[in-house]
Amino acid sequence: MGYSWNWDVLLQPSATGDGTYLGWMFYGFKMTIGLSLSAWLMALILGALVGVLRTVPNKALSGLAAAYVELFRNIPLLVQLFIWYFVLPELAPAALGDAFKQSNPIVQQFVSALLCLGFFTSARVAEQVRSGINSLPRGQKNAALAIGFTLAQAYRYVMLPMAFRLVVPPLTSEFLNIFKNSAVCSTIGLLELAAEGRQLVDYTAQPYESFIAVTLAYVLINVVVMFAMRRVEAQVRVPGYMGGH
């Protein structure tokens, strides 16, 4: 097809003289991992909280949690990202907004991306946590209360430990999603993996090698996360429950 393959291009010094093109890719790789892991931590904490609130017997609290979930679920990720990055600094109190706009552009991009991915994913985590809690037999809550636990203790010692075990498999797919979704952050100029791939195409004029390398990097992340989560699943499996012995 008249295309001359040249994988060595990845090892050549980059146009800006700061290492090789592979080094660029590695920088993007680290950015993707760092962003995704920190957003995941945020999503787990917020999502667990909101998911629990959705199940408590208090209309105001559960309604508020439901509104939270609907808000972050029904607006496209890209739109949310642009709102975090372009809109909120304008609407925030002047001092805060100005401080944000005067900070290092990488910090601005990273913070917006983190908040965006964290909140977006937390709504999905919350839904999984809620359905985990709701899928527990109703009698479990009664049994916990009957033995003298307060509602908070019933959640803490009985319902949540079990719900979290049930929720691990669906959370694996949300965890994978956060790495994939982080690629959207290339649109605000954050130099993560996908953005570096685009740069590589422009600078090396070897588009196939660049994109294949970046695509493989995503596949690698996917495989590693799947193996890690499978270990977690095996760790938390309850003997005698749901076919686990």
Please calculate the CA angle 96-117-197 and round it to the nearest 5 degrees.
105
Helix (H, G, I), strand (E, B) or coil at 152: helix
As beta bridge partners, residue 241 has 244
Q: Which residues 119-158 are close enough to bind another protein by CB under 8 A?
A: 137, 139-140, 142-150, 153, 157-158
Q: Is 223 a residue that touches another protein (CB under 8 A)?
A: yes
Q: Which two tokens stand for residue 18?
A: 């700061």
Measured in whole angstroms, the distance separating CA 117 from the mean position of its chain's CA atoms is 6
Measured in whole angstroms, the distance separating CA 101 from the mean position of its chain's CA atoms is 25
Minimum distance, C-beta of residue 94 to another protein, in the bound complex (Å) = 8
User: In this structure, how many other beta carbons lie within 10 angstroms of the beta carbon of residue 155?
Assistant: 19
Q: What count of residues does the chain have? A: 245
Of 170, 165, 175, nearest in space to 244 by CA:
165
Q: Which residues 189-218 are close enough to bind another protein by CB under 8 A?
A: 194, 197-198, 201, 207-208, 211, 214-215, 218
As beta bridge partners, residue 20 has 13
Minimum distance, C-beta of residue 17 to another protein, in the bound complex (Å) = 25
Q: Is 38 a residue that touches another protein (CB under 8 A)?
A: no
- Contacting another protein (CB under 8 A), which of 73, 99, 134, 135? 73
Q: Is 230 a residue that touches another protein (CB under 8 A)?
A: no
Minimum distance, C-beta of residue 142 to another protein, in the bound complex (Å) = 5
- Contacting another protein (CB under 8 A), which of 219, 227, 228, 230? 219
As beta bridge partners, residue 244 has 241
Between CA 205 and CA 15 the distance in angstroms is: 12
Helix 21-55 to helix 193-204 angle (10° resolution) is 160
Residue among 33 and 198 whose Cβ is closer to another protein: 198
Q: Is 78 a residue that touches another protein (CB under 8 A)?
A: yes
Minimum distance, C-beta of residue 130 to another protein, in the bound complex (Å) = 14
Footprint of another protein (CB under 8 A): 1-3, 70-71, 73-80, 82-83, 86-87, 90-91, 94, 137, 139-140, 142-150, 153, 157-158, 161-162, 165, 176, 179-184, 186-187, 194, 197-198, 201, 207-208, 211, 214-215, 218-219, 222-223, 238-241, 244-245
